[in-house]
Structure 1
Amino acid sequence: MSLRGFDTVAVGDTLPVLTVELDRAALVAYAAASGDHNAIHWSDRVAQEVGLPGVIAHGMLTMGVASRTLTEWAGEPTAVVAYSTRFTRPVVVPDPGVVVLEVSGSVRSTDADAREVVVDLTVGVGGETVLTKTRATLRLA
């Protein structure tokens, strides 16, 4: 099911689960693209000095990865007209290794007149929630 078939979307429908592996190379690439070169995203020593358990993924990277669930389901990136979340737990990225971000979602509400769907996402790592109150509004053109 996708948003392209809006008339078949109902409250409670679930979106396909998205899993994405993040490693230190992904953090380096994101830092280059975003300009966020904060050492907590590449140095275990600095991350631990500020009270983190280790190097963490950029919050906006985590949020952006989660939004892929929406754009892939909708089939159109411009369908997302509102998107919000709260950061609740850092995503620690080991070296060597990967961390697996798990994103699932369900339709919270629909508005046929406005051709809008509100979706709640659940975003976690290893069964622990890392983003809460993650919600998006999608609209068909």
Structure 2
Amino acid sequence: MGREQTMAQPEIDAVAQTAALAGRRFRVRDHYVVGREKVREFARAVQNQHGAHHNEPDARKLGYEGIIAPPTFASVLGTACTRALLDTVLTEYDLSQVLQTDQVFEMHRPILAGDRISNEIVIESLRQFGDNDFIHVKFVLTNQHGEVAQVGSTTIVARRGAEVDPNLIEAVESIFMHTRPELAVNDPLVELPAGGQAPIAAVREPAAVHTLPDFDSLTAGQALPTGGARVTRGDLANYAGVAGDPNPIHFSDRAAQLVGLPTVVAHGLLTMGLAADYLTGWLGDPTAIEKFSVRFAGFVPVGADTATEVEFSGKIKSLDPATRTGTITLSGVSEGRKLFGRAVAEVRFT
């Protein structure tokens, strides 16, 4: 009996320690400068074609002096924050055992080239189901004017105490992106006092939008024209580098197969970015998107020498005449596989 209690105690302590993570708040030590060419690189990586992501004259037509970051650009900062949490706070989890189940972006102000972004992170909740921990993380991006630009949230699923396949460890070590230790940022996160409040977004000014569809011409239940995208291994490698996502299941067949996937698969946030381009193409104005949320359900398999087709469709779920806003539901399909369990956008119209 005594031996059993001794062996069980670390597990109990680990569960208690994990539960204590909920509510902890952090600030990223250094600010992030949004580079003009970084915005362009990211737009190309997620195939966001709107001219405002690439050229100042097109951005000025929408009322902004600098080029506008795509709707999912904040994923660059979010990915870096998740890695920082795994490296410094959530150290009991192995990166190869972490999955992202959903992502939400709330846009309060467009992120523009030249912005200096500060980031606060809150571990909002942690739920345990069997061997899986569901960790809900929120990040708040504030620009150099003290304005909240975006609020994002994501849920990651991580396995506690899982025995990682030695073959997977070997594969990851052989193909994982490595950085020189002396170049690593020491203590990238600063813990904030418990019980404090994250920055609260001011009421968004009703800045003019320039949508192609006029609100008065729309009806609830109306279908959007279908669209699509093509994804290749080159696209995956490019996105991995631009977004800073090093997970080898997106570029190594061996790593993908060791975790039970048939082949290399596209990043969930890449498919979300493609869906954002589909929506922006219909709207005609990326700043018209006020909120975009996705729950990931499937994956896009990408062969070594063939492109994979992704098909998108959408429908107007509801319209609000008082605010000239609407809720759009989106669907994505690849090789007969449904990509999103839920994909919803809240948008404004001219």
> Normalized against structure 1, the TM-score is what?
0.94
The equivalences for 1:1-141 within 5 A come to 3-140=212-349
Contact 2:280–2:286, Cα closer than 8 Å, also in 1: yes
SS in 2 for 1:86: strand
Deviation, structure 1 residue 133: 1.1
SS in 2 for 1:51: coil
Taking only aligned residues, the RMSD between alpha carbons, in angstroms, comes to 1.3
Deviates more, 1:19-28 or 1:66-75: 66-75
SS in 1 for 2:306: coil
Contact 1:16–1:69, Cα closer than 8 Å, also in 2: no
Distance 1:3 1:118, change over 3 A: farther
Contact 2:239–2:270, Cα closer than 8 Å, also in 1: yes
SS in 1 for 2:303: coil
Deviates more, 1:24-33 or 1:125-134: 125-134
Deviation, structure 1 residue 37: 2.0
Give per-residue Cα distances to partners, 1:75-127, cap 9 Å, x unaligned: 10010101111111121111110111100001000001111111111111122
Distance 1:56 1:28, change over 3 A: same
| Unmatched runs of 5 consecutive residues or more in structure 2 | 1-210
Contact 2:256–2:264, Cα closer than 8 Å, also in 1: yes
Contact 1:123–1:132, Cα closer than 8 Å, also in 2: no
| Unmatched runs of 5 consecutive residues or more in structure 1 | none
List structure 1 runs of 4+ shifted beyond 3 angstroms.
Answer: none
Deviation, structure 1 residue 3: 5.0
Contact 1:99–1:125, Cα closer than 8 Å, also in 2: yes
CA distance in 1, matches of 2:310, 2:319: 27
Structure in which a larger fraction of residues adopt strand? 1
CA distance in 1, matches of 2:215, 2:349: 8
SS in 1 for 2:299: coil
CA distance in 2, matches of 1:132, 1:75: 26
CA distance in 2, matches of 1:71, 1:103: 12
SS in 2 for 1:62: helix
* Equivalences, count: 140
CA distance in 1, matches of 2:259, 2:337: 22
CA distance in 1, matches of 2:298, 2:284: 29
SS in 2 for 1:16: coil
Contact 2:299–2:337, Cα closer than 8 Å, also in 1: no
Contact 2:228–2:278, Cα closer than 8 Å, also in 1: no
- Which of structures 1 and 2 has the bigger CA Rg? 2
